[in-house]
Amino acid sequence: MHLALKEAQAAADAGDVPVGAVAVVDGAVVGLQRNRKEELNDPTAHAEILLLRDVSQRLGRWRLPDVTVYCTMEPCAMCAGAMVQARIARLVYAVPDPRGGAAGSVFNVVDTPELNHRIDVVQGVLMEDAKAQLSAFFRRVRGRNSGTLDGRGGASQLDSARPSDGEGCPSG
Ligand code: ZN
């Protein structure tokens, strides 16, 4: 998760919402990606999607039942769906996303009995670190957009730190 947080910081430095994801097989890192939605002008360029593509290419297979994915934020419906498609074994994430999380918060795409694959989920790992990173990013964006921080500035909660345009997915 420390690696994922480092990757998320690279996203923030490039102007993207800080979300990072790491894939691990048998204790070895096999992939590392960050949110690149703004950078690539691609609505699907979330860290998790890029990660699954990268790892599948590298391993030469799209079925990834031996893979654990570490994310700095709860995946959205698109990414959670892709994880089910890839049949990943386990998902570990830091911050829950009450506005669009699909691993238990708003939807539970990763653990739906009707689907042909269910994923073990662990949440809350290094949550405070990831939260602080997101808050810092949105504080900076808000400061840049408004020129100065208004009366709402300085919020520390993830929710209030979101951009005012109310974009649903945290990854962008
Ligand atoms: Zn996503």
pLDDT digits (tens, 9 = 90+) for 96-109: 999 999 999 999 99
* In contact, 6 and 21? CB cutoff 8 Å: no
Beta strands in 74-170 (DSSP E): 90-95, 120-123
Q: How many whole angstroms separate alpha carbon 148 and alpha carbon 153?
A: 9
Range in 22-26, 60-64, 123-127, 156-160 the model is least confident about: 156-160
pLDDT digits (tens, 9 = 90+) for 63-73: 999 999 999 99
Q: What is the whole-number distance in angstroms between the Cα of residue 70 and the centre of ligand 1?
A: 13
d(CA 131, CA 93): 12
Give the span between the Cα atoms of 147 and 159, in whole angstroms: 21
Indicate the pTM of the whole model: 0.84
Q: Is the pLDDT of residue 136 over 80?
A: yes
DSSP H or E segment with residue 136: helix 127-146
- Reduce the DSSP state of residue 3 to 3 states and report it: helix
State yes or no: pLDDT of 169 exceeds 60. no
Ligand 1 center to residue 142 CA distance, Å?
22
DSSP letter (8 states) at residue 90: E
Residue 171 alpha carbon to ligand 1 centre in Å: 6
Report whether pLDDT(154) > 70.
no
Residue 47 has phi, psi (to 5 degrees) of -50, -45
Let me know: does 90 contact 69? Beta carbons within 8 Å. yes
Mean pLDDT (the chain, rounded) = 89
Q: Please report which confidence band the pLDDT of residue 170 belongs to, taking 50, 70 and 90 as the band edges.
A: low
| pLDDT tens digit sequence for 2-34 | 999 999 999 999 999 999 999 999 999 999 999
- Looking at the annotation, which residues are catalytic? 48
Specify the 3-state DSSP secondary structure of 94: strand
> Cα–Cα distance between 77 and 99 in angstroms, integer?
11
Task: Give the whole-angstrom CA distance, residue 119 versus residue 110.
Answer: 5
